Amino acid sequence: MSKILLTLAGLVAALFAGWVALTSLAPGTAVATWAPCPRNWAWAPAWLPRASPLGSVRFDLDVGHGKLCYGRPSLRGRRMLGGEAVPYGRLWRTGANEPTTLHLDGPARLGPIGLLPGSYSLYTVPGERAWQVVINRSTRQWGLESEYDEAVRAEELGRFEVAPRALASPLETLTFRAERLATGAVDLVLEWERVRLVVPLVAGLSDDEGGEEPY
């Protein structure tokens, strides 16, 4: 019996070690579009129970695939967007825990910014009339806005504005969806509280557009 228990324990440990390895190595590789969402295991909070569960949405583009990984906070009776937790005019990780991260296995353009295959963190600066979307090559930091230091800021690729739209009724838990258009492009849609934000993502780059490369 003891040998069986030891064998089972060894198998469980090996499976867990493999899962940790897979979720550690996925960023920046084609693996990330189909593997479990990466965790930033170097940070202690990554090992703790999460009040905001990890969510993801996978989607197909005309050329290649993509996956968005994000933490899913809930309102729980609080005002979040424009409130104390997520004030207007301040950088936000666009979720909880690790920063929201976009994984691409082919070139694409998010808003006006061309991206080569790889992984990118997506921050936002919410506003009442306009939101800034911030694209960054750094994905290994914890999502706390205080961790967006000069070293992380130096990896920023660009910012662009998107106008928020109103939801008819409040949504309790932050949700991202990927809406495929007839053109083959995809709209990444953020919905939470009473806000709907649509960010266009198009596969491929023009001949004179080299794209920004992640690390």
Whether 132 has a pLDDT exceeding 70, the answer reads: yes
Mean residue pLDDT of the chain comes to 85
From residue 88, alpha-carbon distances to 80, 127, 134, 173 in Å are 10, 5, 15, 19
Cross-strand bridge partners of residue 60:
65
User: Is residue 182 in some structural domain?
Assistant: yes
User: Is residue 214 in some structural domain?
Assistant: no
User: Is residue 170 in some structural domain?
Assistant: yes
Q: What is the mean pLDDT of residues 6-34?
A: 54
Segment holding 117, helix H or strand E: none
The reported pLDDT for the residue numbered 14 is 47
User: Is residue 43 in some structural domain?
Assistant: yes
User: Is residue 138 in some structural domain?
Assistant: yes
Q: What is the mean pLDDT of residues 180-202?
A: 95
Whether the CB-CB separation of 59 and 108 falls below 8 Å is answered with no
Q: In the chain, how many domains are there?
A: 1
Whether 210 has a pLDDT exceeding 80, the answer reads: no
User: Is residue 208 in some structural domain?
Assistant: no
Domain span at 78: 2-203
Q: Is the dihedral of CA 30, 36, 42, 43 positive or negative?
A: positive
